[in-house]
Amino acid sequence: MASWQTVWITGGGSGIGLEVARQLAKSGTNVVISGRNPDKLQQACDEVKSGGITGSIQSLPCDVTNLDSVKAAWLVLLETQGIPDLVLLNAGDHQPVSLDNFDPAIFEHLMKVNFHGVVNCLASVIPAFCQRGHGHIGVVASVAGYQGLPTASAYGATKAALINAAEALYPELKLKGVDLSLINPGFVRTPLTDRNTFEMPFLIDPEPAAERIILGLQKKQFEIAFPTRFVILLKLLKALPYWLYFKLTRQLIPKS
């Protein structure tokens, strides 16, 4: 099982990222968390420390949509911690889209955060990891990226792009000694899903989600997807012919 001395987590100030940070810091890892809001990050660090940790947790503010901001944060990380062993590219956002709020600005925003945000970080991480000859990258996508589902035309597309990019990069990185894991969670109770007004199937808390992510990363799994029953259901759905697929997904259109 792999263990890490230093881990960088983007979107580490809340939700899934914060819970992974908490569990790692508790078990002796030096964790650095990034997000846009310095106060929120500091608060998250204080809260994690107050729970008792044997590692450390520090905040490193950065906006993943801004390449200069990411480059500057990466340099600070190198100066203070050295090249991390693991980076978890987890920062993300979600907004539902249906026909009555079909706005290109939502697509642009979500693509900027969820996809280009990861790409901006990879542009710093990949050269350093490849030059060193080892390192582990975790990319947080979503089961929403498996196939098109009602209200997720923007969010799902950003996550599908991430899945595709991760599949494309994996073999080349592996040749350089660098591991890549693709994390596809189902519904997890976080500030992001607290906004949802519909009943979320197979909803889980951040604690088991973080445990599952850490275990999968330790085992160096390529895909870390959970909860299992939901993942199987969605993968079966994807295998259906479109006429049957749309018959079923039609049921998910919100009643207006």
Residues 113-172 that bind ligand NAP (CB under 6 A): 113, 117, 140, 142
CB of 253 to ligand NAP, least distance (A): 20
What is the CB-side half-sphere exposure of residue 161 using CA atoms within 13 A?
17
Least distance in Å: CB of 248 to ligand NAP? 21
Give CA–CA dist 235/231, Å, rounded.
6
When the beta carbons of 90 and 181 are compared against ligand NAP, the nearer one is 90
The whole-angstrom separation of Cα 242 and Cα 76 is 49
- CB nearer ligand NAP, residue 26 or residue 116: 116
CB 180 within 8 A of CB 139: yes
Chosen residue from 53, 60, 64, 126 binding ligand NAP by CB under 6 A: 64
Paired with 73 in beta bridges are none
187 sits near ligand NAP (criterion: CB under 6 A): yes
Pair 33, 9: CB distance under 8 Å:
yes
Task: Tell the smallest beta-carbon distance from residue 204 to ligand NAP (Å).
Answer: 8
Q: How far is the CB of 175 from ligand NAP (least distance, A)?
A: 27
Query: CA 80, CA 8: separation in Å to the nearest integer?
Result: 12
Q: Does 59 bind ligand NAP (CB under 6 A)?
A: no
Give 41-99 as a 3 state SS string: HHHHHHHHHHCCCCCEEEECCCCCCCHHHHHHHHHHHHHHHCCCCEEEECCCCCCCECH
CB closer to ligand NAP, 111 vs 130? 111
In 3-state terms, the chain is what percent helix, strand and coil (to 5)? 55, 15, 30
| Minimum gap (Å) between residue 196 Cβ and ligand NAP | 8
Question: What minimum distance in Å lies between the beta carbon of 117 and ligand NAP?
Answer: 6
Bridge-based pairing state of the strands 178-185 and 223-226: parallel
- Interface residue with ligand NAP among 6, 81, 120, 190 (CB under 6 A) is 190
Residues that bind ligand NAP (CB under 6 A): 10-11, 13-17, 35-37, 40, 63-65, 90-94, 113, 117, 140, 142, 185, 187-188, 190-193
